[in-house]
Chain A
Amino acid sequence: MSGATIDSLLLLGAVVLPFIGALAAGLLPTHARNAAAWLAGAVSLGAFLLLCTVYQAVTAGGVVRLELEWMPSLGLAFVLRADGLATVFGGLVTGMGALVVLYARYYMAAEDPVPRFFAFLLAFMGSMLGIVVSGNLVQIAFFWELTSLFSFLLIAYRHHIAAARDGARMALTVTAAGGLALFSGFLVLGHIAGGFDLDVVLGAGSQIHAHPLYPVALILILLGAFTKSAQFPFHFWLPQAMTAPTPVSAYLHSATLVKAGVFLMARLWPVLSGTDAWFWTVGTAGAITLLVGAYIAIFQHDLKGLLAYSTISHLGLITLLLGLDSELAMVAAIFHTLNHATFKASLFMAAGIIEHETGTRDIRRLSGLNRFMPFTARLALVAAAAMAGVPLLNGFLSKEMFFATALTADEPLPLGLKLLPVTAVVASAFSVTYSLRFIHGTFFGPDPTDVPSMPHEPPAWMRLPVELLVLACIMVGVLPAATIGPLLDVAARSVLGETTPEYSLVVWHGLTRPLVMSTIALALGVTLYLALQRHLRRGVEIVPFLGALSARRLFDRAMVFLSWRLARSIDRVFGTRRLQPQLRLVVCVALVLAAAAAFVRGVGPGNIAPSEVDPVLAIVWAIGASCALGAAVTAKLHRFAALVMLGGAGIVTCITFVWFSAPDLALTQLLVEIVTTVLLLLGLRWLPQRKDGAGAQRRPLIERVGRLRDFGIAATAGVGMAALAYAVMVRMPPELLAQHYLARAYTEGGGTNVVNVILVDFRGFDTLGEITVLCAVALTTYALLRRFRPAPESVQLPAQQLDQIALDAARPEPRRGRLVADWLLVPSLIGRLLFPAIGIFAVFLLLRGHDEPGGGFVAGLTASVAIIIQYMLMGTEWVEARVRVLPLRWMGGGLLFAAGTGIGAWFFGYPFLTSYFGYVRLPLVGEVPAASALLFDIGVFALVFGATVLMLIALAHQSVRGRRATPALDATAPSPRVAVGAATGDD
């Protein structure tokens, strides 16, 4: 906290007090009407008095500042900054708040939850004060949105009424959206000015004007200001918001909320104005709003609707003044803001009294109320006269100022047109007309016949705020220099500083041109009112000429478009729940992105010249490619064929490895290919069979086109991948890991088979982890399949077998059971013979693994291939009747062995898994590499073998169990001996 003076703390108190009050009021019970009202009144008055104290400090032209840490990393502090303008506005906000609280105490019905109302009102007051005295832009935006939020809650206070909800939602949508625009505008402005502190921004005027982003910031900020201050074309929310309780309208829609936009424009006037862009946007919006608002106001039948459009018009007037880029206009704008607040609030209150007493606000139904509530009528008459700009009242003075500036302002219009004075006169004539309509239509004429209740004077306390406000109108109107003079001076000086112009606050300037204009406007207004009598009496709802131009309808349409049509079409296009298009999208986007990257940057030639293509290898590759293609094409139609072709592609890969002198890699790859293919083959039976045959009938065109498209995508993606792989291969990377291994395989690992050395030595720890995982996978597979039964439709014997059985049965001497027994007779014989051979080969691979192609992993796979062949050719039962593999023991033993080898190193004083290498001469075999890694390799071998066989058994038992599920098919099958001790198929 820096530079905290008493004044700055008082200022903080003024901002915080309403929020505390709001919290307290919110906690009061629903029926605590008086307590809430007293609380709210006290808080408002308290805040007002605090601001009065601050005002003393500000009068000398000083600025009260308070800075608290907030978001230091952004360079944002919580800054309160009260100068003349802020204090005067703050006084307006709190003072008016106190009056409104008093008024609302008598206005609100007994059944309304009043504490909630006062809580919202106080919170709004706090937010409004926050805008006014904030010292940095982000903070202003923050409080700005808060006012939108609380005004939403206040407008929707009677949320059981549909119109109140709609009005509230529209107000929130428009002002909150504007607030976000304002927020981004502030971000841009802060970026330009180099900081968000208001003093920094206000000191960077020339920098801001010159910056290329100035128009962006201007437009965004003006969007915020215009939406809040109901400027054309964003004015439509204000009349809708008239569904709010009248105290809310009196407070928000005359004195505070709608003035926020105006205040902001005044606040930033020194840095944003002075350009053509400012003049045209602000000036035009203001002028149009001024005219259109006043014109529509004439034709309103709802008292509050009339006042709402009149407010729009007056806000347009203020905006226009701000747009004129003249210091005098600036003073007039501030002056009119204050005046408008007083007379409009009193009129709203009067309208509320009328509604409260008669039960209606419709001018068509009201008349002659002067006789029932004479005192209220006189008050309203004075206030309306101020609105119309009748001399000796405050509205007259600021209007005179407006006329004066309208006459003198530079208008960069072509042909030297002077539109402004004309606009001013016409608009103020309109204002005379609607003021007349308000007074004459309501208070004069015959007695009302059509009102819900017969009116009389309201309680004196309810009238008191109106009396005070009207008194202010008269006082300012008669003695301006003594009453409002100092306030206006302080406020204007805080914005304009040294350039504050000379202006005179007296009622009589002599017979000047503005006075003439006023007279003309008065006369015109009265004439217009008389001329419109017939039209108005007909009571039609439509505004002549402008009826079709309804911004509200545009808003509704836009909302429907955004919230319904656009959303639906986007949802339709992107919201598919089907997997296929989702996959397609992912692949396509990846393809496009990669292609775009390649095209933008360009793929130059590599730095390695490709060797020439060997025709034989090319043919092999062509075969492999066609296999892959065939697999893709038939994957859906014929899974078995697809799998076989996949195997073909795999074989080509192996051949390629051999071709490029990587036999170890080839061997590993080959075995992985074989095992996976077999496992997949076994797994095929769980997939449901396709119902429709391949290519049985012609598919509809759309499906064929779809397939063609998918083919295209797949082909493009495949070619793209291949091209990328090619691009990688023709480049020599800076430093290859492979060279690291190649260089050290023998010197540090004692082996020349690099893959094996990497597996068991350099990355021994990894391999230990991997085989552990393999163990877990095998166990999981087994656990999953243990209680699993194949799909019923896949249990049936194959069609060929059934045919053959039928054929056999038809023979004279049926040979039951021989069919399966004779099945694959020759291959099975060979398979049986191969069993020991493969076993020995596996051991051979294991032993030579360290230097030559081979190794524990490959050896394990090889050994398991021996078993797989037996299962495939002889059938599960036959194999398990003869061979007993105990995979769990193999796996466990292998794992222990491998880990033990690693631990063994500790006993020799080496870290875990350090390997020793040397050669041992065995009889018959000769010299054998005997790195300690060999022991590790044996563990790997045992584990891989065990794990593969375990999975195999789990799969193979499905066939047995499947048949058991339908015993009728093969009742003679003997129950298999179970190789693993676990229960099978007992589900």
Chain B
Amino acid sequence: MPSFPLPPLSPALPEIFLAAASMALLLFGVFRGERAAREASWLAALALVVAVVLVLGGGGPRQLALYGMFVTDAFAVFMKVLVLLGGIFAIVMSIRWNEQARIARFEFPVLVLLATTGMMMMVSAADLISLYIGLELQSLSLYVLAGFKRDTVRSAEAGLKYFVLGALASGMMLYGCSMVYGFAGATDFATLAATLSGGETLAIGPLVGIVFVVVGLAFKVSAVPFHMWTPDVYEGAPTPVTAFFSVAPKVAAIALFLRVMIEPFGGYVADWRQVIWLISVASMVLGSVAAINQSNFKRLMAYSSIGHIGYALIGLAAGSKEGVESVLIYMAIYVFMNVGTFAVILLMRRNGEDVEAIDDLQGLAQTHPALALSLAIFMFAMAGIPPLSGFFGKLYVFMAAINAELYVLAVIGVVTSVVGAYYYIRIVKLMYFDAPKPAFDRPFGAEMSAVLAVTAVVTLFFFIAPSVVVDSAAAAAASLFPG
């Protein structure tokens, strides 16, 4: 009598917990009605914190679950913690803003939870199928979130545009997956890696398949030339959503990108490196140059994030353990400086209205010295000026590029970061040197001040104890490379 025990589920405990929590929260919201937004948000944040604990508790050696579709390893733990942090920050920052914008609904945290669950699934995907499921769970939730402020045209447009383009990209990726499956006869990464290995170069079929998968993933990380949606969606979506967009999905998509490229296709770095090289260079150039011309802060951040993804992809192009490690460090640093910047953007309200223009920051140093100081810290960090954390992110990726003998890539990276520094420093100049505009609305709220303080301190004092991040990133990167 054959016995079919339940599949081992414990590695997926955080995901299961989050999925269940989002359902419970949905019910909670339905029964409590519209008033429940605030409680639901805090509960969602709490659920995410619990998920962090579960993720950290589940760390350890590599474990497969759900018939090889799901994997937990040090890499997954690292990325999931980042994703969850992004989710926590986004929810906490959304509470007050949503109330002021009159979009405080309990569906918001539920959607964030669902999206986060999808992202964690992406991070842990060990199979093309589970990859796609995670990706779509994330994407569908994000489409709705982008259009969450339904009564404004910009938000609705953002949601729709993101959906149309995202569906196209998903379709391409799925096509790529089916090509890979068609040639390799398997969907799980382990079998793919085993089946594909052996040849000097990759066969044409999987290669074309990878190209399409890369297209889809590049869209999700908004790398040039698949970045088109980013500025529009960043600008149009409600600001807390944009803050969420700029961190958690980026981290998850980068994680997925790394895993897909390294685990099944890691033996053929030379074959896919050119593609990554190209989109990395294009992203860095466009991100740094096009940002200069922006007057809307959220749009600027969109281009800035495009540029940052370009830098992160340098590490992927290196394709080495060191390269992966540098990407992880870069993303960890990126999460904090980006969340901090968005916290400032969220506080930019004057007479009950959002202001988003960069010029609205003029003279901030005189009206809100602490706010100006923290934004200056984030801007200098993004520009990659030591001793702030951003410098170390760049240090690691450039070093990885040079050790992988990608000299041109490293030099282009340096040049573009010089250009990019220009617009970050311009913001500092606006805040400190220009005649002040009227003050922003007060009070800022304790939770916003806390977010600002945490992110600023991490960004500023990263250099004192970088090993906290660096060591776990190294362990995480090592777990992607067997042996």
Tell me, rounded to whole Å, the shortest Cβ–Cβ distance linking A386 to chain B.
37
Tell me, rounded to whole Å, the shortest Cβ–Cβ distance linking B387 to chain A.
6
Q: Is B228 on the interface with A (CB-CB < 8 A)?
A: yes
Q: Is B48 on the interface with A (CB-CB < 8 A)?
A: no
Could you tell me the distance between the alpha carbons of A911 and B4 in the complex, rounded to whole angstroms? Answer: 6
Q: Is the CB of B183 within 8 A of A146?
A: no
Q: Is A983 on the interface with B (CB-CB < 8 A)?
A: no
Q: Is A181 on the interface with B (CB-CB < 8 A)?
A: yes
| B212: A residues at CB distance < 8 A | 590, 594
Tell me, rounded to whole Å, the shortest Cβ–Cβ distance linking B220 to chain A.
12
* Given A562-B422, A570-B286, A589-B225; A184-B165 close (CB under 8 Å): no
Instruction: Give the contacts of A569-608 with B (CB-CB under 8 A).
Output: 570-571, 574-577, 579, 581-583, 585-587, 589-590, 593-594, 597-598, 601-604
Instruction: Mark the stretch among B33-41, B115-123, B378-386, B446-454 that contacts chain A.
Output: B378-386
Q: Is the CB of A169 within 8 A of B175?
A: no
Could you tell me the distance between the alpha carbons of A564 and B463 in the complex, rounded to whole angstroms? Answer: 34
Q: Is B395 on the interface with A (CB-CB < 8 A)?
A: yes
Tell me, rounded to whole Å, the shortest Cβ–Cβ distance linking B3 to chain A.
7
* Given A149-B385, A724-B208, A734-B195; A562-B433 close (CB under 8 Å): no
The 0/1 profile, CB within 8 Å of A marked 1, for residues 337-377 of chain B is 00000000000000000000000000000000000000000
Q: Is the CB of A579 within 8 A of B386?
A: no
| B6: A residues at CB distance < 8 A | 911-912
The 0/1 profile, CB within 8 Å of B marked 1, for residues 167-201 of chain A is 00100110011001101100110010000000000
| A911: B residues at CB distance < 8 A | 3-6
Instruction: Mark the stretch among A41-49, A68-76, A269-277 that contacts chain B.
Output: A68-76
Instruction: Give the contacts of A717-734 with B (CB-CB under 8 A).
Output: 721, 724, 727-728, 731, 733-734
Could you tell me the distance between the alpha carbons of A156 and B434 in the complex, rounded to whole angstroms? Answer: 12
Contacting B289 at CB < 8 Å: which of A184, A566, A576, A597? A566
Q: Is A736 on the interface with B (CB-CB < 8 A)?
A: yes
| A703: B residues at CB distance < 8 A | none
| B474: A residues at CB distance < 8 A | 73
The 0/1 profile, CB within 8 Å of A marked 1, for residues 376-404 of chain B is 00001000111100011001101100110
Q: Is the CB of A601 within 8 A of B201?
A: yes
Tell me, rounded to whole Å, the shortest Cβ–Cβ distance linking B238 to chain A.
18
Instruction: Give the contacts of A859-906 with B (CB-CB under 8 A).
Output: none
* Given A176-B421, A177-B418, A563-B292; A73-B325 close (CB under 8 Å): yes
Contacting B185 at CB < 8 Å: which of A70, A146, A602, A736? A736
| A912: B residues at CB distance < 8 A | 4, 6
Q: Is the CB of B395 within 8 A of A184?
A: no
Q: Is the CB of A567 within 8 A of B292?
A: yes
Q: Is the CB of A562 within 8 A of B208?
A: no
Q: Is the CB of A597 within 8 A of B207?
A: yes
Q: Is the CB of B211 within 8 A of A586?
A: no
Tell me, rounded to whole Å, the shortest Cβ–Cβ distance linking B287 to chain A.
11
Contacting A585 at CB < 8 Å: which of B228, B231, B293, B411? B228
Tell me, rounded to whole Å, the shortest Cβ–Cβ distance linking A655 to chain B.
22
Q: Is A358 on the interface with B (CB-CB < 8 A)?
A: no
**In the complex, residue of chain B having the shortest beta-carbon distance to the beta carbon of A587:** B168
Q: Is the CB of B387 within 8 A of A585?
A: no
The 0/1 profile, CB within 8 Å of A marked 1, for residues 207-235 of chain B is 11001101100010000111011011000
Tell me, rounded to whole Å, the shortest Cβ–Cβ distance linking A482 to chain B.
41
| B291: A residues at CB distance < 8 A | 567
| B201: A residues at CB distance < 8 A | 601
Q: Is B432 on the interface with A (CB-CB < 8 A)?
A: yes
Q: Is the CB of A570 within 8 A of B407?
A: no
Q: Is A837 on the interface with B (CB-CB < 8 A)?
A: no
Tell me, rounded to whole Å, the shortest Cβ–Cβ distance linking A273 to chain B.
23
Q: Is B27 on the interface with A (CB-CB < 8 A)?
A: no
| B473: A residues at CB distance < 8 A | 73
Contacting B380 at CB < 8 Å: which of A149, A165, A582? A149
Contacting B182 at CB < 8 Å: which of A156, A582, A602, A733? A733
Tell me, rounded to whole Å, the shortest Cβ–Cβ distance linking B116 to chain A.
20
Q: Is the CB of B184 within 8 A of A156?
A: no
Q: Is B174 on the interface with A (CB-CB < 8 A)?
A: no
* Given A216-B407, A590-B212; A728-B204 close (CB under 8 Å): no
Tell me, rounded to whole Å, the shortest Cβ–Cβ distance linking A382 to chain B.
39
Instruction: Mark the stretch among B56-64, B246-254, B259-267, B464-472 that contacts chain A.
Output: B464-472
Residue with the highest number of chain A CB atoms closer than 10 Å, among B4, B195, B224, B290: B290
Residue with the highest number of chain B CB atoms closer than 10 Å, among A187, A602, A727: A187
Could you tell me the distance between the alpha carbons of A16 and B274 in the complex, rounded to whole angstroms? Answer: 45
Tell me, rounded to whole Å, the shortest Cβ–Cβ distance linking B317 to chain A.
15
Tell me, rounded to whole Å, the shortest Cβ–Cβ distance linking B207 to chain A.
5
Tell me, rounded to whole Å, the shortest Cβ–Cβ distance linking B364 to chain A.
14
Q: Is B92 on the interface with A (CB-CB < 8 A)?
A: no
Q: Is the CB of A586 within 8 A of B432?
A: no
Could you tell me the distance between the alpha carbons of A568 and B291 in the complex, rounded to whole angstroms? Answer: 10
The 0/1 profile, CB within 8 Å of B marked 1, for residues 60-85 of chain A is 00000000011111100000000000
Q: Is the CB of A733 within 8 A of B183?
A: yes
| A165: B residues at CB distance < 8 A | 429, 433
| A604: B residues at CB distance < 8 A | 204
Instruction: Give the contacts of B160-191 with A (CB-CB under 8 A).
Output: 161, 164-165, 168-169, 172, 175, 179, 182-186
* Given A563-B422, A731-B205; A191-B403 close (CB under 8 Å): yes
Q: Is B419 on the interface with A (CB-CB < 8 A)?
A: yes
**In the complex, residue of chain B having the shortest beta-carbon distance to the beta carbon of A568:** B293
Could you tell me the distance between the alpha carbons of A566 and B182 in the complex, rounded to whole angstroms? Answer: 45
Instruction: Give the contacts of A373-427 with B (CB-CB under 8 A).
Output: none
Q: Is B414 on the interface with A (CB-CB < 8 A)?
A: yes
Q: Is the CB of B386 within 8 A of A146?
A: yes
Tell me, rounded to whole Å, the shortest Cβ–Cβ distance linking B103 to chain A.
19
Q: Is A213 on the interface with B (CB-CB < 8 A)?
A: yes
Q: Is the CB of B165 within 8 A of A169?
A: no
Contacting B4 at CB < 8 Å: which of A156, A180, A914? A914
Q: Is B425 on the interface with A (CB-CB < 8 A)?
A: yes
**In the complex, residue of chain B having the shortest beta-carbon distance to the beta carbon of A579:** B161
Q: Is the CB of B292 within 8 A of A590?
A: no
Q: Is the CB of B410 within 8 A of A187?
A: yes
Tell me, rounded to whole Å, the shortest Cβ–Cβ distance linking B470 to chain A.
5
Could you tell me the distance between the alpha carbons of A633 and B172 in the complex, rounded to whole angstroms? Answer: 22
Tell me, rounded to whole Å, the shortest Cβ–Cβ distance linking A788 to chain B.
14
Residue ranges of A at the interface with B (Cβ–Cβ < 8 Å): 69-74, 138, 141-143, 145-146, 148-149, 156, 159, 165, 169, 172-173, 176-177, 180-181, 183-184, 187-188, 191, 213, 216, 559, 562-564, 566-568, 570-571, 574-577, 579, 581-583, 585-587, 589-590, 593-594, 597-598, 601-604, 721, 724, 727-728, 731, 733-737, 910-912, 914
A-B residue pairs in contact (CB < 8 Å), sample of 5: A73-B467, A562-B422, A579-B165, A594-B208, A597-B208
16 extra interface residue pairs, beta carbon distance < 8 Å, beyond A184-B411, A576-B228: A143-B386, A159-B433, A213-B407, A559-B422, A564-B293, A579-B164, A582-B229, A586-B168, A586-B215, A586-B226, A587-B168, A589-B226, A601-B207, A727-B204, A731-B182, A731-B183
Residue ranges of B at the interface with A (Cβ–Cβ < 8 Å): 1, 3-6, 161, 164-165, 168-169, 172, 175, 179, 182-186, 195, 201-202, 204-205, 207-208, 211-212, 214-215, 219, 224-226, 228-229, 231-232, 275, 286, 289-294, 325, 380, 384-387, 391-392, 395-396, 398-399, 402-403, 407, 410-411, 414, 417-419, 421-423, 425, 429, 432-433, 463, 466-467, 470-471, 473-474
